[in-house]
Amino acid sequence: MSTHATLPLRIGSFSPAAPVVLAPMAGVTNRAFRAMCRSYGPDLVYVNEMVMSHAVVYGNAKTDKMMEFGSDESPRSLQIYGSDPEVLGAAVHRVCDEGRVDHVDLNFGCPAAKVMRKGGGAAVPAKPRLLRAIVRAAVRAAEPYGVPVTAKCRMGLWDDLRTDVTTGRICADEGVAWIAMHARTVEQHYSGEARWDAIGELKDAVDGIPVLGNGDIWEASDAVEMMRRTGCDGVVIGRGCLGRPWLFGDLVAVLTGGEAPPSRSLGDVAEAMRRHAGLLTEHFADFGGEDHAMRDFRKHTGWYLSGYPVGSEVRRRLAMVSTLAELDDVLGALDPSLSIVEGGERIKRGHTNGPVKVALPDGYLDCDGIDAAGSFVVPDDAGVMALSGG
pLDDT at 49 exceeding the cut of 80: yes
Instruction: Kindly give, in sequence order, each residue whose CB lies less than 8 Å from that of residue 277, ignoring residues fewer than 6 positions away.
Output: 293, 294, 297, 324, 327
The per-residue pLDDT for 4 is 75
Distance CA 263, CA 250 (A): 10
Q: Mean per-residue pLDDT for 140-147?
A: 98
pLDDT reported for residue 370 = 67
Q: Domain 20-258, CATH 3.30.230.10 — does that match?
A: no
pLDDT over threshold 50, residue 390: no
**Contact between residue 170 and residue 119 where contact means Cβ atoms under 8 Å apart:** no
Q: Is the pLDDT of residue 383 over 50?
A: no
Lowest mean pLDDT among 9-13, 98-102, 201-205: 9-13
Residues 7 and 227: their CA atoms lie apart, in Å, by: 12
What are the tens digits of pLDDT across the range 72-97?
999 999 999 999 999 999 999 999 99
Pick the catalytic residue: 37, 96, 110, 232?
Answer: 110
Question: pLDDT at position 6, please?
Answer: 87
Cα distance between residue 334 and residue 267, in whole Å: 8
Per residue in 59-73, pLDDT (tens digit) is: 999 999 999 999 999
110 is catalytic: yes
Q: Determine the pLDDT at residue 388.
A: 53
pLDDT at 5: 79
Would you list the domain boundaries of the chain?
A: 20-258, 266-339
Does the pLDDT of residue 381 top 50, yes or no?
no
The confidence score (pLDDT) of residue 71 equals: 95
Q: How confident is the model at residue 373 (pLDDT cuts 50, 70, 90)?
A: low
Chain centroid to CA 29: how far?
8
What's the predicted TM-score (pTM) here? 0.94
